[in-house]
Copies of this chain bind each other. A is one copy, B any other.
Amino acid sequence: MSGRGEIDRLVTLLGRLPGLGPRSARRAALALLRQPHARMLPLAQAMEQAARAVRTCSTCGNLDTTDPCAICADPTRDAGLVCVVENVGDLWALERAGVHRGVYQVLGGTLSALSGIGPDDLNVQPLLDRIAQGGVREVILALGATVEGATTMHWLHERLARFDIKISRVGQGVPVGGALDVLDDGTLAAAIMARRPA
């Protein structure tokens, strides 16, 4: 199978995407190769447009095509209620569930000695700035019920304690050891509703 560099490269790059093993990468590549004009070029163009359009929101860390993102820019969202999540996938999960009417802060990770992620690696300064500027009434810590999530919530609680704001955390609903973005909408809704002081 020499001389098919473009096809091999496509399979290789698709196989590096999370969630695609070698077999599903080959299946996806074949589906695209069978319809180069109807399927592959539109996807390639969608990727190029998304790559050029994507911005990291300097307020909250969300990924969107504008900065500030559509959530931060939405006047109907409660800017005084900030939900802290580990990553954009968790933010998307909460948005799909439609259970949070405030805004977000995306940390970009959780404290992890194992992964070498320390406080300086977390995107927390914009949250502190927003609180210092006033207008933040409550911070909801919506991190997974993992060791890293618990450590990060503890550390955040210490950093936020000096401010005159309410600090709560998602409680009921997040399974021990579980990640947030695999939960169904009802569980996420319950976790948000049942939040308690952190």
Distance in angstroms between the alpha carbons of A69 and B1 in the assembled complex: 9
Q: Which of A5, A32, A42, A50 has the most CB of B within 10 A?
A: A50
- Whether the pair B64, A10 counts as a contact (CB closer than 8 A) is no
Complex: how many Å from CA A33 to CA B47? 9
Question: Interface segment, A16-24, A121-129, A168-176, A185-193?
Answer: A16-24
For the complex, would chain A's binding face be called helix, strand, loop or mixed by DSSP majority?
helix
Q: A17-B27, A30-B92 are known contacts; what are 15 more A-B pairs with Cβ within 8 Å? A: A4-B66, A6-B65, A7-B54, A13-B46, A17-B32, A18-B31, A30-B88, A33-B54, A33-B63, A33-B88, A34-B88, A40-B47, A41-B47, A44-B48, A47-B47
17 contacts between A and B (CB under 8 A): A1-B71, A1-B92, A1-B95, A2-B70, A5-B65, A6-B53, A6-B65, A10-B47, A10-B50, A13-B42, A17-B27, A19-B27, A20-B24, A29-B50, A34-B88, A37-B51, A44-B48
